[in-house]
Structure 1
Amino acid sequence: MRLFAIRDYRRLFGAQVIALFGTGLTTVALGLLAYELAGPRAGVVLSTALTVKMVLYVVIAPLAAAYVDRLPRRTFLFLLDAARAMVVLALPLVTEVWQIYVLIGLLQAASAAFTPTFQAVIPDIVPDEADYTRALSASQVASTMESLLSPVLAAVALSFLSFDRLFLGTSAGFLASALLVLSTRVPDARPGDRATAWERATAGIGTFLGTPRLRGVLALDLVVAAAGSIVVVNTVNHVRAGLGGSRSDVAWMLAASGTGTLLAALVLPRVLDRVAARTVMTTGAGVLVGGTAAAAALAAAGLLTWTGTAIVWTAIGIGTALVITPTGKVIRSSVGRNAVPGAFAAQFSLSHLAWLITYPVAGRLGTDTGFTLAWSVLAALAAAGAAGALLLWPRHDGQDLTTGLTTPARHGHDTNRSALTRAA
């Protein structure tokens, strides 16, 4: 592929992939650490730690996008990776729950700044428009693959290592990512055309709130978060306490969800050539609503066995891929090229608002009242998000995305409508 012939992109992409897998392995190990420290209340600990993560993502990502053009970006990315390596190295030494919150706060603050900075670098090292689009897609594929392979790698490692050794491996991964960044020629950014940091930080958010199809994407983010919280927060308690499984079983059950994601990702490129992104994404929302409802119903009936859990978790993975994979295409078709990094940073930040709602429901409510009520609430939130997406995202607007039309939709519904009229 011509894209990977670009030396600097190849190395920077490698750094991103290594960092992604480091984050994925850390998530698995963190769940097991929470269970070691808190036992049956591990869901509360994990959901609180992940809520801290979401708050930082919502706040820091837009600020990083706003100030990234004023920083030496290669040095900044290197320092962020180095900071994550040191934080992860300290996690096995944790003996109190509050220490998890502090370290996770530091880790996720660095991660929240890394992603928008990385996205802002891509157009400067990949100048060709077609290659730039492929680079954005490659980043999405890497994220999809991480969701499958991280739990699998963790399951294999846990077969002969204690879970705290996973932290050592992820720390080494972040250091490798930092060295790859340091070997990349990343040009310093040109100052943006917006006068204030506030304008730069809120530009992408304004685009999302002012564009019908992107408002629909935000509603779908709630669906993904509602279903995903069940998998991320509750798997460790459900497998260890409910099913009597081992640490490796936790990782393999997480991998079931990742398998669903991969299966959908393999067929989606061909599907998206023929089917509207809106149709694919709302179908995925339907799958996720069904998955969360099935989880609640099976839990209420006491029938969420190993097989039932694996089936539901796989369905959630499939639905997640159907919603998330086309998102980049929708964003790119909605803004001009110069606004793409800001739009992706806004999606990164705003999507985590949904997780900020659903993580406490899955963790605290699930621990205090049981999975049945918590998952029923999450199923209701997923249904509300799916209904909201259907109302907010006009059918004709989504259908047009299959034609390859790319119109700057930064001025809301009227802009989209006029563009469609001209195209007709």
Structure 2
Amino acid sequence: MIRALSNRTYATLFTAQVVALLGTGLMTIALGLLAYDLAGDAAGAVLGTAFTIKMVAYVGLSPVLAASLVHLPRKAVLIGADLARAGVALALPFVTEVWQIYALIFVLQTASASFTPIFQATIPDILTDEDDYTQALSLSRLAYDLENLLSPTLAALLLLVISFHGLFAGTVVGFLISAALVARCDLPPFAGTTETRPFSERLTRGSRIYLATPRLRGLLALNLTAAAIGAFVLVNTVVLVRSDYGLGERALGVAMAAFGGGSMLAAILLPRLLGRVRERDVMLPAAIALTSLAFVFAAIIWGRSLPPWWLFLTFWVLIGAFYSAILTPSGRLLRISAHAEDRPAIFAAQFALSHACWMITYPLAGWMGRYAGLTAVLLVLAALGAMGVFAAMRLWPVHGDRVIEHSHPDLPPDHPHMKAHQTHGREHAHVFVIDNEHRAWPTHG
């Protein structure tokens, strides 16, 4: 993964991502303490509502923002989003009412919904070599896992000398440093002339390409699997550790570190593996293993019996590894499934559709877990994950070749596309993606 970092532009952007993620982690902890300060025992409901607002902003606004901002310079969009997030973090320590938290979180996540898809779509334009880009995807996964591991530790150290309001200052600094690092980069402009398309077409283009591409329909199904099991871990680990095992906060940190460590291990190993086998041959077995582990763990805790602590941590390491093996290669699929000018739209579609899966699984993991018990909710989520696996098997062809032979009965012989690719008759073959000349996936040939 060192070779990808030898690209100075990518190395700077990766550093900006890490710094911003650390700031976000500090804000997450500070937000929980702020919610408790304002709402007391109802803090969980406040945070639940805030996270729901986050998902609504991600799902509803990211395609709109991608269509609206495509004609602006990437650097200006990324810096503006960072400055907006810094402004929200600066305002959060001064809130006095719960509704103010909701309003600021909506603004914050709106900025993130504009930043993240454009940031993700920029990386394949910088790292044009597929192996380098695969390394970048693994580094991004590592960055998210390190944020989950380091932010709580950093927050605990800071809280020894400052109040939780001071954590928001760390968030502000993180976003400002991120903006400054982005400003140093020479980013490529958006490709093509997508701004000449009507807004309605720009708004739906990403999702249309996404849902018309078999491998991406399979990816969406696997996103559901990852979200189902991931939601159980992220929402209910605290219940398992604190209530069922009766252990303290340090044990909770160990459990989440086990999950994050498994994810990091998979991210480190994946670049070499993906250089030898196809994405489907990694992601689908990982999804099957992830769902199987969920069913096995549900069987173990049936009747409120608990496995030994070491076995519980082993489960969480394995779940983290297979969870990462599903999510990490997704960028490769997006990259090969659209032309450069359509990448911002298709990354925005992935951002929205994947978070739509979390909109289903997060409330299910939380509310059903509270009222029906952890075994019942894990069985339901595992069944939902299995549905995702079976859907991916059907939607994602085993022989999903990139170069596909096809014809264009709707195009005249003198069309530029026909002249560029014609070989014999009207049949020709090339790397197939959904675009203006290819509006449906070939069903034969």
Post-superposition offset of 1:387: 1.0
Name 2:86's counterpart in structure 1: 85
Post-superposition offset of 1:266: 2.1
Cα distance in 2, alignment partners of residues 360 and 315 from structure 1: 24
Cα distance in 2, alignment partners of residues 166 and 111 from structure 1: 19
Post-superposition offset of 1:276: 2.6
AA in 2 matched with 1:409 = V
Cα distance in 2, alignment partners of residues 175 and 96 from structure 1: 26
RMSD value, Cα: 3.3
Name 2:255's counterpart in structure 1: 253
Cα shift readout 1:289-339 (whole Å, capped 9, x = no counterpart): 123223433443320564343222222211111111222222223333333
Cα distance in 2, alignment partners of residues 42 and 307 from structure 1: 31
Cα distance in 2, alignment partners of residues 214 and 244 from structure 1: 42
Name 1:380's counterpart in structure 2: 383
Change (3 A) 1:147 1:74: closer
Indicate the structure (1 or 2) with the bigger Cα radius of gyration: 2
Post-superposition offset of 1:45: 4.5
**Percent identical residues:** 44
Alignment of 1:146-161 (within 5 A): 146-157=143-154, 159-161=156-158
AA in 2 matched with 1:83 = A
Name 2:324's counterpart in structure 1: 321
Change (3 A) 1:73 1:329: closer
AA in 2 matched with 1:300 = W
Q: Is 239-248 or 390-399 further displaced after alignment? A: 239-248
**Is residue 141 of structure 2 the alignment partner of residue 129 of structure 1?**
no
Verify the 8 A CA contact 1:334 1:407 in the aligned structure 2. no
Structure 2 unmatched ranges of 5 or more: 405-428
Q: Is 82-91 or 263-272 further displaced after alignment? A: 82-91
Name 1:415's counterpart in structure 2: 442
Structure 1 unmatched ranges of 5 or more: 419-424
AA in 2 matched with 1:376 = L
**Is residue 368 of structure 2 the alignment partner of residue 369 of structure 1?**
no
Cα distance in 2, alignment partners of residues 103 and 275 from structure 1: 44
Name 1:107's counterpart in structure 2: 108
Task: Tell me the matched-pair count.
Answer: 411
AA in 2 matched with 1:149 = L
**Is residue 137 of structure 2 the alignment partner of residue 140 of structure 1?**
yes
Name 1:421's counterpart in structure 2: none
Post-superposition offset of 1:46: 4.0
Verify the 8 A CA contact 1:17 1:142 in the aligned structure 2. no
Q: Is 266-275 or 314-323 further displaced after alignment? A: 266-275
Alignment of 1:20-169 (within 5 A): 20-27=21-28, 30=31, 44-91=45-92, 98-122=99-123, 126=126, 129-130=128-129, 133=130, 136-157=133-154, 159-162=156-159, 164=164, 166-169=167-170
Change (3 A) 1:361 1:263: same
Q: Is 226-235 or 102-111 further displaced after alignment? A: 102-111
AA in 2 matched with 1:240 = R
Post-superposition offset of 1:218: 0.6
Report the secondary structure of 2:194's partner residue. coil
Post-superposition offset of 1:285: 0.6
Normalising by structure 2, what TM-score?
0.80
Verify the 8 A CA contact 1:159 1:248 in the aligned structure 2. no
Name 2:408's counterpart in structure 1: none
Cα shift readout 1:39-81 (whole Å, capped 9, x = no counterpart): 8876655443322212111122212221223334433322211
Verify the 8 A CA contact 2:77 2:114 in the aligned structure 1. no
Name 1:228's counterpart in structure 2: 230
Q: Which structure's residues are more often helix, by fraction?
A: 1
Q: Is 314-323 or 137-146 further displaced after alignment? A: 137-146
Report the secondary structure of 1:380's partner residue. helix
Alignment of 1:219-368 (within 5 A): 219-302=221-304, 303=306, 306-368=309-371
Verify the 8 A CA contact 1:227 1:291 in the aligned structure 2. no
Change (3 A) 1:106 1:71: same
Post-superposition offset of 1:217: 0.6
Q: Is 93-102 or 236-245 further displaced after alignment? A: 93-102
Post-superposition offset of 1:166: 4.4
Post-superposition offset of 1:248: 4.2
Q: Is 257-266 or 368-377 further displaced after alignment? A: 368-377
Normalising by structure 1, what TM-score?
0.84
Cα distance in 1, alignment partners of residues 286 and 41 from structure 2: 32
Cα distance in 1, alignment partners of residues 167 and 87 from structure 2: 14
Q: Is 405-414 or 255-264 further displaced after alignment? A: 405-414
Change (3 A) 1:292 1:117: same
- Which of 206, 213, 216 does residue 214 from structure 1 map onto? 216
Cα distance in 2, alignment partners of residues 241 and 42 from structure 1: 18
Cα distance in 2, alignment partners of residues 160 and 375 from structure 1: 34
Verify the 8 A CA contact 2:403 2:430 in the aligned structure 1. no
